[in-house]
């Protein structure tokens, strides 16, 4: 049986006319709760200008696509009832003064982290893939770490920050990197060592709890999954499905390597940080640090090598042909950052850029 996949997407609440973020998450969540059949898929986030939804575990990528489109559509509907709209943007193109939510956890973060928390209005995409055990999960984490910057480049969707072009494809990742536990981590080798490191981080008192261990990929503290957290929220829902497809392929490939006794690559965390910076800066528009050679190579070539790396896993799950088509589409039109910049070049307006992104969000 293929591994199940769940997707969490954070969405920006924006004014449909002005394009400016709106601090209306409480109203949107109340409406979502009212219309929910059972438990709501929507949750609050750190800032009142954003909401998050989580899909159920999906066995196929058709289910992933259906769920992502469904909950994006529901988010748009609930937001409209609250007098606002939503956009799958990883940062706000227009200037914003973020409002931190009133929950105890969020207020603690605001007090302890100051401007790092205040300015953290960013929207990511988290992909959960089921694993059989924590031991398998850590084996996967040790073997996928080199490919995570490539996923960041693919998903890059945050070129603008406070009304300016940041010159990055994923400026979100640079802002997110301000958290003390964010980013790549060392090869750990066993579940015992992984859990010991998490315990040591929390025991410093810097982090409130295990939920604040913000590794680029981690064992979920709530579900029996590996959670890949490196990506921007994707503008086009089709890119979210491609991202989920590749993540499941990476997890399955890594698990097979572990079972076959293949050692995890020993790439240093320092090199992975450099690779992540390059991915955030370049996106798909320039060279990326290749996970195998650790040298700059054209993004298109690195993406195709990623597809080759997970080819057997995708073929066994019946996902290869769709992944090839989706990747070809991204190569033609670019990632979200490239699309946003193209819209701005065409319209000359960040407000119009946001308005068009609202339309793209629903697919």
**What domain range is 23 assigned to?**
5-361
Total domains in the chain come to 1
Q: Tell me what the mean pLDDT of segment 55-79 comes to.
A: 97
Contact 151/229 with Cβ under 8 angstroms?
A: no
pLDDT in tens, 89-119: 999 999 999 999 988 999 999 999 999 999 9
Lookup: tokens for 175: 């802002």
pLDDT at 328 over 80: yes
132-153 as b/e: b if 16+ CB within 10 A: eebebbbbbbbbbbbbbbbbbb
Q: Tell me what the mean pLDDT of segment 236-252 comes to.
A: 98
User: Given this model, what pLDDT does residue 1 score?
Assistant: 79
Contact 79/35 with Cβ under 8 angstroms?
A: no
Residue 320: pLDDT band by 50, 70, 90 thresholds?
Answer: very high
pTM above 0.75, yes or no: yes
pLDDT in tens, 180-226: 999 999 999 999 999 999 999 999 999 999 999 999 999 998 999 99
Residue 55: pLDDT band by 50, 70, 90 thresholds?
Answer: very high
pLDDT above 70 coverage of the chain, percent: 100
Mean residue pLDDT across the chain: 96
Distance CA 81, CA 93 (A): 24
Q: Tell me what the mean pLDDT of segment 171-176 comes to.
A: 98
Residue 35: pLDDT band by 50, 70, 90 thresholds?
Answer: confident
User: Given this model, what pLDDT does residue 331 score?
Assistant: 95
Lookup: tokens for 287: 């060279």
Residue 160: pLDDT band by 50, 70, 90 thresholds?
Answer: very high
Strand partners, 158: 170
CATH number for the domain harbouring residue 14: 3.30.590.20
pLDDT above 90 coverage of the chain, percent: 95
User: Given this model, what pLDDT does residue 102 score?
Assistant: 85
User: Given this model, what pLDDT does residue 363 score?
Assistant: 80
Rg (Cα) of the chain, in Å, rounded? Answer: 19
pLDDT at 39 over 80: no
- How many other C-beta atoms are found inside a 10 Å radius of the C-beta of residue 205? 7
pLDDT in tens, 257-306: 999 999 999 999 999 999 999 999 999 999 999 999 999 999 999 999 99
pLDDT in tens, 113-155: 999 999 999 999 999 999 999 999 999 999 999 999 999 999 9
Distance CA 193, CA 341 (A): 43
Distance CA 210, CA 258 (A): 26
User: Given this model, what pLDDT does residue 37 score?
Assistant: 76
């Amino acid at each position: 049986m293929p591994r199940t996949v769940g997707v969490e997407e954070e969405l920006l609440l924006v004014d449909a006319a002005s394009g400016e973020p709106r601090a209306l998450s409480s109203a949107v969540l109340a409406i979502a709760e009212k219309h929910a059949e059972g438990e709501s898929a929507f949750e609050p986030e750190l800032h009142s200008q954003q909401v998050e939804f989580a899909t159920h575990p999906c066995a196929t990528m058709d289910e992933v696509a259906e769920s992502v489109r469904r909950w994006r559509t529901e988010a748009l509907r609930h937001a409209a009832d609250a007098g606002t709209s939503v956009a799958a943007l990883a940062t706000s193109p227009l200037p914003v003064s973020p409002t931190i939510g009133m929950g105890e956890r969020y207020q603690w973060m605001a007090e302890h982290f100051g401007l790092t928390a205040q300015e953290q209005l960013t929207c990511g995409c988290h992909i959960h893939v089921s694993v059989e055990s924590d031991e398998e999960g850590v084996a996967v984490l040790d073997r996928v770490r080199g490919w995570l910057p490539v996923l960041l480049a693919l998903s890059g969707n945050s070129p603008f920050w406070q009304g300016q072009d940041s010159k990055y494809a994923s400026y979100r990742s640079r802002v997110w990197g301000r958290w003390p536990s964010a980013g790549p981590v060392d090869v750990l080798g066993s579940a015992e060592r992984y859990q010991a490191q998490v315990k040591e981080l929390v025991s410093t008192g810097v982090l409130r709890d295990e939920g604040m261990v913000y590794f680029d990929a981690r064992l979920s503290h709530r579900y029996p999954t590996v959670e890949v957290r490196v990506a921007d929220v994707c503008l086009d829902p089709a890119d979210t499905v491609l991202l989920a497809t590749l993540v499941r392929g990476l997890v399955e490939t890594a698990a097979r390597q572990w079972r076959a006794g293949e050692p995890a690559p020993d790439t240093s965390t320092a090199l992975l940080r450099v690779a992540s910076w390059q991915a955030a800066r370049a996106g798909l528009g320039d060279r990326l640090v290749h996970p195998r050679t650790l040298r700059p190579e054209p993004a298109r070539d690195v993406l195709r090598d990623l597809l080759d790396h997970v080819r057997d896993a995708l073929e066994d799950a019946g996902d290869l042909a769709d992944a090839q088509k989706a990747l070809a589409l991204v190569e033609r039109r670019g990632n979200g950052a490239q699309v946003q910049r193209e819209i701005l070049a065409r319209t000359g307006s960040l407000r119009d850029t946001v308005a068009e992104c609202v339309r793209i969000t629903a697919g």
